[in-house]
Amino acid sequence: MSDPTDATPRDHADAAPDPAAAGATAAPLTPGRAALAEAVHEIERHVAGAGWDGPVRVFALVATGRALETEPGLERQLPPEVVARARRDPNHLTSVEQEDLPAADSLEDLLARLSWPETVDGAAVVVERVMLPPEAEEAMPDDPDAALAYLMAHPDRQDVRLAVGVLRGGETWCAVRTRADDADDRVGGGPDLVPGLVHAVAATLL
C-alpha cells in the first residue's frame, strides 16, 4: 500500500471542465470530503511526477486507521508521521494503485469492468483528456475519425489531466491540471467538476 500524503491517459473529454473555473468549491468541506480532496490531489501529484501522455491509472482508497488494525505489517510500511496522523484522524485515506487492469477498449469499458470488495472505501481514477472551448465543440464533425483529426489539429485544444475520487459514503472530489499551466499550485479542485466521470467511478462501488 502507498499513502497518498506520501506517494513516492489518453481519452477525449465528453464533459471536460473549464480550468479557469476549476478553483475552490462552494460545497461544504466535510471531514470526509476534506480527506478525499487531500488524497485525490496527492494522487494527481504522484501521477504528475511521471509526466504527460501516460495511461489511465486506478487507485483503491481505504481508511488508513482501519487498515492499520487489520494489516499489522502496514505500520512498518508507512512513515511514522502518517501512522500518527491516521491514529488521530479516522477519515485519513491510503491509496493503493491497481496493477494488471483488465483489457478495455475505452475508459467507460474499463470502469464497467471494475468492482471492489467491501474493505475498499472508495476509488480514484486518473486520466488525460483533450478539451476544446464550447464553440469549437459545436463544429466537431460527427464522423469519429474526422472528429479525432479535428480535435488533434485544433489550435485551441488543451491537454488536461483529471483525477476523480469517490467514497462509498457519497463524497466526491476532482482535481484538474492543464498541460499549458503545469504546476502543482495551479491544480484546480471541486466535488463535481467532471460529473460524467464522477458517476462512472461511483458506479464501480455499487
Whether 4 is covered by a domain: the verdict is no
Q: What is the pLDDT of residue 26?
A: 54
Whether 1 is covered by a domain: the verdict is no
Whether 167 is covered by a domain: the verdict is yes
Whether 142 is covered by a domain: the verdict is yes
In the structure, how many helices (H) and strands (E) does the chain have? 8, 7
User: What does the block give as the cell for 205?
Assistant: 462501488
Q: What is the pLDDT of residue 167?
A: 98
Whether 186 is covered by a domain: the verdict is yes
Rounded CA-CA distance 181/166 in Å is 26
pTM, rounded to two decimals: 0.81
Domain that holds residue 93: 11-203
Mean pLDDT by 10 residues, the chain (206 residues): 32 39 59 96 98 97 95 91 94 95 93 95 96 78 81 83 97 96 96 95 96
Whether 6 is covered by a domain: the verdict is no
Count of domains observed in the chain: 1
Report angle CA 148, 100, 204 to the nearest 5 degrees. 75
Rounded CA-CA distance 177/185 in Å is 10
Whether 74 is covered by a domain: the verdict is yes
Whether 3 is covered by a domain: the verdict is no
